[in-house]
A = this chain, B = another copy of it.
């Protein structure tokens, strides 16, 4: 497994691999690798001859500097995980390599970045789209794999790639989960025991809505009330947003659902005795209506 820090070096390797006719897959990560990343790497392996992972904790996508400082950094174990997973190359640039002095160029996506996490985390998606552009320009992959857990991020990246004409296929991989349903996330490491115990409230809320839809409940208000009721059962949980939106355009769903609809959820898990930090978790599900074949 090669470990590369320089953009120009990874570009030269990409050129050589592409010239040799090999198909490259990139899995961009911020490190703190867990089983969710492994499922992305497996998806990449199914689609390419070479699997590359990038590890870069991107400062520009953190709207809160404490969040950046506290983000888990576990490089040694990350490299071991990549080795074990058969990754061919790890691209691990420095911040100075990704953001040269006096950097002043941004890639911005419009409407899709305004609601949901875009509203809660101003500037977040600008950081994401800018760094993903840089990673795609560096690694020149044929395919890049992202998790569906970050649904809006995936939608924004798909739109950016389509709009600018990046020659890459964007693949969304299903969310990996713990036995109790909690979506895997590097942020789960930050949960205290009580926060962790209550964290499956997100997936329970999603399932409750899904079951209600299956039983014929298409009222957006009724479904969101169900979601709020489920979250309320977890005393340390506090809703950041719970919304029903079109999965492609992310515009708000009508009062009565008439097609497959995204249910997107962000929840703060507060520390039980004001000791420790609040951790923000997200999860989502696309609610399928009966007879809807998406």
Q: Which stretch in A30-38, A45-53, A109-117, A239-247 binds the other chain?
A: A109-117
CA distance A107 to B8 in the complex (A): 21
Whether A106 pairs with B107 at a CB distance below 8 angstroms is yes
A165 at the interface (CB under 8 A from B): yes
On whether the beta carbons of A134 and B167 are closer than 8 Å, the reply is no
**Interface stretch (choices A13-21, A266-274, A282-290):** A13-21
Q: For the complex, is A108 an interface residue (Cβ under 8 Å from B)? A: yes
Stretch at the interface among A97-105, A170-178, A179-187, A253-261: A97-105
Residues of chain A from 115 to 148 with CB closer than 8 A to chain B in the complex: 129-130, 133-134, 137-138, 140
* Number of A residues with CB within 8 Å of any CB on chain B: 37
Question: Is A160 interfacial (CB-CB < 8 Å)?
Answer: yes
Main secondary structure of the interface of A (DSSP, over half): helix
Residues of B within 8 A of A160 (CB): 105
Residue pair B100, A104 in contact (C-beta under 8 Å): no
**Contact partners of A19 in chain B: CB under 8 A:** 18-19, 21
A167 contacts which chain B residues (CB < 8 A)? 8, 11, 15, 137, 140
A166 at the interface (CB under 8 A from B): yes
Q: Are A163's CB and B100's CB within 8 A?
A: yes
A164, CB-defined interface residue at 8 Å: yes
A169 to chain B, nearest CB (A): 12
- B165 & A137 in contact (Cβ 8 Å cutoff): yes
State the CA gap A107–B106 with chains docked (Å).
6
Which of A129, A162, A163, A249: most chain B CB closer than 10 A? A163
